Structure 1
Amino acid sequence: MPRFALITGASSGIGLALAEALARRGQALILVARQRDALDSIACELSQRFGVEVLFRVCDLSEPLQLSGLLHELEQNGLHIELLVNNAGIGSSGAFLDQDWSREQELLELNVLALARLCHGIGALMARQGGGQILNVASVVGLLPGPWMSSYYASKAFVLHFSEGLREELKGRGIKVSVLCPGPTRTAFFRNASMDIAKIDGGKLMMSAEEVAFLTVKALRRAPAIIIPGWRNRLMAAGLSFLPRWAMRKLAGRLNRTALSL
């Protein structure tokens, strides 16, 4: 029976790049996202290019009933999942009180609750199967508060701290937990969040999703607690530790306001 890596948010961006990087190394995959046509095409392409088994499941993870259905199906089918990649997530930007609450709720359901639910459900499967590995995707912005993107920054702080806590809890059950904290990455995230990252740095410091995926998959062999791809991002993360909290708030708020033209 093949051992699968299950990747959420696998139809684009970092999730798609991770799927390709893992397939290149011979890893069988289960791809999860909302877009059936995109998943079908990606699964066929990766299977043909790399000769690995690629399954896909269409699921809106922000909908609790769909998520429960996915977990039930995985358990009933007895699929052996050796790696869970919780990559699915969305962002929102602008003043919190001016946001439509349904969008904020969707963000919290997907970025926080769905991720925790998958760790709980698939983590239990891994424990029964003798072990596994979990990679949760956070962000370097999880290291600081983020005015005008308050919910998004806070959701990534949850992912960071939750993952570190799980790492200690689950190591005795043979499950390794790592958290990925990429910096700005060339994906559709900024466009979907109505942000113009070019107003901040012209995109010069941004990494490609493929670069992030390559460095991440390479690091997964060591299973470190925190993966920060790229020396600039590691330098930035280290520098933040010297700033007082009020300075972090001011810096992040200024950058976000600039990107939003506020």
Structure 2
Amino acid sequence: MKNYVLITGASGGIGFCFAKVFAEKGYNLILVARSKDKLDSIKKELEANYSVIVNIYDIDLTSSMAVQEVYDYIKRKSLVVDILVNNAGFGEFNAFLDSEWHRQKNLIDLNITALVEMTYLFGQDMKKRKYGKIINLSSIAAFSAGPYMSLYYASKSFVLSFSEALSEELKGTGVSVTALCPGPTSTDFEKNANMDNSAMFSKFKTSNAEDVARAGFNAAMKGKSIKYYGSMTYVFNIITRCFPRRVGRNLAKKMDSSEGKY
């Protein structure tokens, strides 16, 4: 039996950077994403550059049995997941009632349901072995309500709260849970979320995805329950703690909108 790091949403952005960081450290990988072509390319790159084994599994985690399929695949191959990185997720800038329901449902299924099920299945195995680490990707969006991105902000608040609670529950078990909360980061997120011209990405300095992944790696290795990354994240966290909630949601609306015009 070989021990592995399982990373969801590994075909690009922060997920791919997590794969690189763990490969550099000598960890074998199981990479999960929708695009088989991208996963094949990443597998070749990482195995060529690092002395690691890379398994790939292409699947859409929004489908009802997807997480169970991934879990069963790993069991069939007699692989052991020591570290789970729940990175897969997406957002969309649109008024909730003007958006298509299937998009909103997919967001819930990916950002929340898949993450929770992954954590439950692999977390139980970790607890039995008395060792494991889970990294859940939250966001600066966790600190406030987000008009025009209502479900995305709510999903990241859920991830932060869930991760904090689980971290406390698992103290003394050998299993740690880390919520990684980056600010705006240079990935394809803004393009996929229709936020190319948002003030968040056009007026503020974005973080490098690999730097975010390294920060998450280091925090998990130290057993930290929360890792904030980026100056904007620290500032926004302070604002939302020190001022009425309406200040945070109005600021979020301005930052997320086109050039801050709302």
- TM-score range (shorter-chain normalised) is over 0.9
TM-score normalised to structure 1 length: 0.94
Matches of 1:259 and 1:103 in 2, distance apart?
Answer: 25
Q: d(CA) in 1 for partners of 2:149 and 2:198? A: 17
Do 2:240 and 2:247's aligned partners in 1 also have CA atoms closer than 8 Å?
A: no
Contact 2:254–2:260 (CA under 8 A) maintained in structure 1: no
Once the two structures are superposed, what CA deviation does each residue of 1:42-78 show, in whole Å capped at 9, x if it has no partner? Answer: 0111011011111111111111122221112223333
- Please state if 1:169 is matched with 2:169: yes
With over 3 angstroms needed to count, the CA separation of the structure-2 counterparts of 1:260 and 1:37, relative to structure 1, is: farther
Question: Residue type of the partner of 1:16?
Answer: F
The amino acid that maps onto 2:243 is L
Q: Tell me how far 1:260 sits from its aligned partner.
A: 8.3
Q: Which stretch of structure 1 is more off in the superposition, 122-131 or 39-48?
A: 122-131
State which drifts further: 18-27 or 219-228.
219-228
Name the structure 2 match of 1:209.
209
CA contact (8 A) 1:26 1:52 kept: yes
Distance 2:107 2:189 in 1: 13
Q: Cα deviation per residue 1:100-133 (whole Å; 9 max; x = unaligned)? A: 0000000000000000000001111212223200
What displacement does 1:25 show?
0.9
Aligned-pair distance for 1:234?
Answer: 2.3
Contact map agreement 2:138 2:179 (CA 8 A) in 1: yes
Question: Which amino acid in structure 2 is aligned with residue 104 of structure 1?
Answer: Q
Contact 2:5–2:30 (CA under 8 A) maintained in structure 1: yes
Long gaps (5+) in structure 1: none
Counterpart for residue 37 of structure 2: 37
Say how many residue pairs are matched. Answer: 262
Which deviates further from its counterpart, 238-247 or 38-47? 238-247
Q: Does 1:110 pair with 2:110?
A: yes
1:203–1:213 distance in 2 versus 1, CA, 3 Å: farther
Residue in 1 that maps onto 2:25: 25
Matched, 1:92 2:96: no
1:220-251 deviation per Cα after TM superposition (whole angstroms, max 9, x unaligned):
22121101123443233233311211111211
Residue 217 (structure 1) shift: 1.7
| TM-align CA RMSD | 1.7
For residues 73-222 of structure 1, the aligned pairs below 5 Å read 73-197=73-197, 199-200=199-200, 202=202, 204-222=204-222
2: CA distance, partners of 1:165 / 1:197 = 36
Q: Is the 8 A contact 1:195 1:260 kept in 2?
A: no
Q: Amino acid of the residue matched to residue 105 of structure 2?
A: Q
- The secondary structure found in structure 1 opposite 2:32 is strand
Q: 5+ residue gaps in structure 2?
A: none
Whether the aligned pair in 1 keeps the contact of 2:4 and 2:30 (CA below 8 Å) is: yes
Instruction: Please state whether the residue corresponding to 2:45 is helix, strand or coil.
Output: helix
Amino acid at match of 2:246: W
Indicate how the Cα distance of structure 1 residues 75 and 144 shifts in structure 2: closer, same or farther if over 3 A, else same. Answer: same
Match of 2:171, SS?
helix
Cα drift, residue 208 of structure 1: 1.2
Deviation at 1:199, TM superposition (A): 3.8
Contact 2:31 2:55 in 1 (8 A): yes
User: Would you say 1:248 and 2:248 are equivalent positions?
Assistant: yes
SS of the residue corresponding to residue 124 of structure 2 reads helix
Percent of pairs with identical residues? 39
**Relative to structure 2, which stretch is displaced further, 205-214 or 104-113?**
205-214
Where 1:258 maps in the other structure, the secondary structure is coil
CA distance in 2, matches of 1:19, 1:88: 13
Hey, what does 1:229 align to over in structure 2? 229
**Residues 235 and 130 of structure 1: is their aligned pair in 2 closer, same or farther, counting only changes over 3 Å?**
same
